[in-house]
Amino acid sequence: MSDAQMAARHIPDRLEGPAARFVKSWESLLLVVAVLVFTVNSFASPYFLDPWNLSDATFNFTEKAMIAFAMALVIVSGEIDLSVAAIVALASTAMGYAMQLGFDTPVLVAVGLGAGLACGVVNGLLVTGLGLPSIVVTIGTMSLFRGLSFLILGDKAFTGYPESFSWFGQGYVWWVFSFELCLFAALALLYGVILHKTNFGRAVYAIGNNQTAALFSGIRVGRVKFVLFMMTGLMAGLASICLTARLGSTRPSIALGWELEVVTMVVLGGVSILGGSGSIPGVVLAALIMGMVTFGFGLLNVPGIVMSIFIGLLLIAVIGLPIVYRRVRAR
Amino acid sequence: MKMLLKNREMLLVVAILVLVGVIALRFPGFVALRNLVNVYNDTSILIILALGQMAVILTRCIDLSMAANLALCGMVAGLINLAMPGLPIPAVVLAVILLGAFLGAINGLLVWKLDIPPIVVTLGTLTIYRGMIFLLTNGAWINAHQMSDAFKSLPRGVVAGLPVLSWLSLIMIAIMLVVMKRTPLGRAFFAVGGNPHAAVYTGIDVGRTRFLAYCLAGALAGLSGYLWVSRYAVAYVDIAIGFELDIIAACVIGGISIAGGIGSVPGAVLGALFLGVIKNALPVVNISPFAQMAISGAVIIVAVAVNARAERRKGRVILKKAEAI
């Protein structure tokens, strides 16, 4: 796979203008797909173009997208975090436990964020402190974190969250704009700025492209990666708050399989799984597409597992087709 | 003694013996031969799967779709049996092995011909294969009473004191030992994982070797699919869900380096046995079965850390990527 990457990195005779670059970019392709999905959906079902229905549809992706933003940075830096869904489960379990001890909403939120952050720190320490490959470490911690919530909950569930807590998952800021949707927009902006407009973001790209070169140019590779894993844990904690508040209960199987959907979202958004390239606008568009497709299928009564086939095909197609296209053009 | 400790497989043997010994101190019944045979038999499917995953990981790839492949093949075996109860079981087994190999070949082709990273390919096919089961059955179950007796009894039959299931896993271990040690293909797995560029110069087709590793893993997953369904006498969409992680865990514990090129058949088998002993010991020592997941997670992390240290000390790789500082 490195050979293909190497061949693609030639130096062009002259740079294309910004307009040409935008038209040829992955993001504009995603934009076309998003518009297409939106149009097809609104023709396929008469219920699609209702503001409240559309607002409901956003719950399909907002929580996953929060994690996907942080995951995008992790993947750009050349690592991966497969434990995110397990962190959601453990943070939710921690909040449920705190609730049973009689704590109220502010403490629950702090516990959720704290648990997520702590899990991220564990991942970060294992990957950067001990220098272990992140894919195996996070497969291990995925099993550990979810295992802990199974250990605490067994076959039971925490229910009866306070009324004020449920606002994080069910509340609306204004008209059809839910708290989750606003949070999603704010985080998209925040992560866009972090990745594209700060030194930290440049460092993330540099590490993903060439870790050794990044190290020699004075970037503290270990520290940057540690922060990335911490941020991912924190985002998983945040998503856990929203999800728990929305469902109103905690089971150890909460958010099962989300790590795959989050990675799919990131990769669909044009982030190279090998690290070094990708953008937040791409991830935002990918989140919208996945949410709209899921919602559209839902309106057409397509079962969830059939949607997952579609997501799987989508994942392989979006990565495979550009490679095929490049091959055909090279001939 | 130091030599022994340096050898990863011996270390694992010692770890397993210590584990079994500690359990035996409080529950002597655990080390009864009858029970140990049961533990092995219970771990047989995991062993077979770990052998396939080992080949894939050796070539610097990973197969996350093995459990979904197993579930699809198991369901197809059940459906064949349902449609044609009279069909001899070996024919059914052969059919699902071929189906498994075909599903593995799809993974392999995507990795080989399209250069898509293995983790992405198998994440995708994982959901696709499991979704196919739903499309085949509409979510219906195949229950014990719908399966023919011959279908259910094959893995249970006892030959020379051991169940057929155990024999099958022993045969697979023997075959894999020969393949890894005595065939060009086995050497190619190691060569491709150890240094793909050097492998090209020695005339090994890297992509094709990876493709064959996926086919092998798929075939073993297909076989395991039949074994799983006939052993537990039920087939539905979610069988063996999440089992792909157990398989990878077994390999990692067994000292197979996720970076490719390092590993052995005994390692994979011992890694699987280690997990099997823990799984079977938990109810005996009265720990909640819900603890199993957390324990295997902790074991994976410890195993990775230990293996990484062992690999670093050897200093085998020169001009390695900079360590994160």
The residue with greater pLDDT, B153 or A64, is A64
The residue with greater pLDDT, A194 or A13, is A194
pLDDT at A119: 96
Give contacts of B 260-319 with A, CB under 8 A. Answer: 288, 290-298, 300-301, 304-305, 308
pLDDT tens profile A96-153: 999 999 888 999 999 999 999 999 999 999 999 888 888 888 988 998 999 999 999 9
pLDDT at A330: 78
Query: To probe the interface with B, which of A221, A226, A309 has the most B CB atoms within 10 Å?
Result: A309
**Average pLDDT value for residue range A147-169:** 89
pLDDT at B224: 95
* pTM across the whole model: 0.84
What does the longest C-alpha to C-alpha distance in chain B come to?
64
Distance of CA A234 to the CA centre of its chain: 12
pLDDT at B2: 54
CB-based contact A205:A228 (threshold 8 Å): no
Distinct helix (H) and strand (E) counts, chain B: 14, 2
Give the whole-number percent of chain A exceeding pLDDT 90: 47
Secondary structure (DSSP) of B175-241: HHHHHHHHSHHHHHHHHHHH-HHHHHHTT--HHHHHHHHHHHHHHHHHHHHHHHHHHHT-B-TTTTT
CA distance B291 to B284: 13
**Average pLDDT value for residue range A258-275:** 87
Q: Which residue has the tokens 């910004």?
A: A18
Smallest Cβ–Cβ distance between B322 and the set A211, A305, A306 belongs to: A211
pLDDT at B5: 53
Do the Cβ atoms of B116 and A127 come within 8 Å?
Answer: no
**Average pLDDT value for residue range A52-80:** 91
Complex ipTM above 0.85?
no
Smallest Cβ–Cβ distance between A312 and the set B124, B134, B325 belongs to: B124
- Residues in chain B with pLDDT < 50? 1, 315-320, 322-325
Give the model's confidence band at A1: pLDDT under 50 very low, under 70 low, under 90 confident, else very high. Answer: very low
Closest chain B residue to A155 measured between Cα atoms? B290
Distance from the Cα of A313 to chain B's closest Cα (Å) equals: 6
The verdict on B198 touching A (C-beta cutoff 8 Å) is no
pLDDT at B24: 87
Distance from the Cα of A164 to chain B's closest Cα (Å) equals: 32
Indicate if the pLDDT at residue A324 is higher than 70: yes
Smallest Cβ–Cβ distance between A315 and the set B120, B130, B323 belongs to: B120
Distinct helix (H) and strand (E) counts, chain A: 16, 4
Do the Cβ atoms of B252 and A150 come within 8 Å?
Answer: no
Contacts of B297 in chain A (CB under 8 A): 140-147
Give the model's confidence band at A11: pLDDT under 50 very low, under 70 low, under 90 confident, else very high. Answer: low
Do the Cβ atoms of B290 and A139 come within 8 Å?
Answer: no
pLDDT at B258: 84
- Phi, psi for A173 (deg, rounded to 5): -80, -45
Do the Cβ atoms of B296 and A143 come within 8 Å?
Answer: yes
CB-based contact B78:B136 (threshold 8 Å): no
Q: What count of residues does chain A have?
A: 331
Do the Cβ atoms of B248 and A139 come within 8 Å?
Answer: yes
CB-based contact A149:A93 (threshold 8 Å): yes
Smallest Cβ–Cβ distance between B301 and the set A141, A212, A263 belongs to: A141
CB-based contact B16:B278 (threshold 8 Å): no
Distance from the Cα of A81 to chain B's closest Cα (Å) equals: 13
CA distance B56 to B62: 6
